[in-house]
Amino acid sequence: MTKKLLLDAAILLALAVLGVIGYKLAPLLNPKTDIVLPLSNCDLAKQACVTTLPDGGLLEFSIEPRPIPSLKPLKLQASIQGSEARKIEVDFAGTDMKMGHNRPVLQGSNGQFAGQANLPVCVTGKMEWDVTVLVETGNALIAAPFRFATHSE
């Protein structure tokens, strides 16, 4: 009876520890943004997209090459005009299917940021992606969402 009680207590403790770890790591997967802009109707697979930031500045974001391929290096570029950005991250998430954590940090300064990413291939052929550009200004974390689709060959 004592061994069973100890085993039950150990299992409960392990579950509690896992819960605390999950709670602490949750902001990495879903950052708490201060401002979420409306979804842009611009298609990143066709062109660079521009959106207006809350302070009136402009964010231009692009992914190359186009059309956007899976399993190949992608060049990510973001430029900020009329506003200041300390850090820019780009979060890629499957619209209808979880594809894992994919959030590269862009490097740069003076309003020009660049980086690389790769997208996994989807077995269904066509994959729709939600792309959220996370702009840290020092005053707020702004989320600028975009969408595009990839097609497997």
* pTM over cut 0.75: yes
Express each pLDDT in 36-80 by its tens digit. 899 999 999 999 999 999 989 999 999 999 888 888 899 999 999
More confident call, 26 vs 146: 146
Domain boundaries, the chain: 1-30, 35-151
| pLDDT computed for residue 122 by the predictor | 63
As a three-state string, the secondary structure of the chain is: CHHHHHHHHHHHHHHHHHHHHHHHHHHHHCCCCCEECCCCCCECCCCCEEEECCCCCEEEEEEECCCCCCCCCEEEEEEEECCCCCEEEEEEEECCCCCCCCCCEEEEECCEEEEEECCCCCCCCEEEEEEEEEEECCCCEEEEEEEEEEECC
- For residue 143, pLDDT over 90 is answered with yes
Question: Model confidence at 141, in pLDDT bands (50, 70, 90)?
Answer: very high
| pLDDT computed for residue 23 by the predictor | 55
* Domain covering 35-151 in this structure, CATH number: 2.60.40.10
- For residue 91, pLDDT over 80 is answered with yes
| pLDDT computed for residue 120 by the predictor | 77
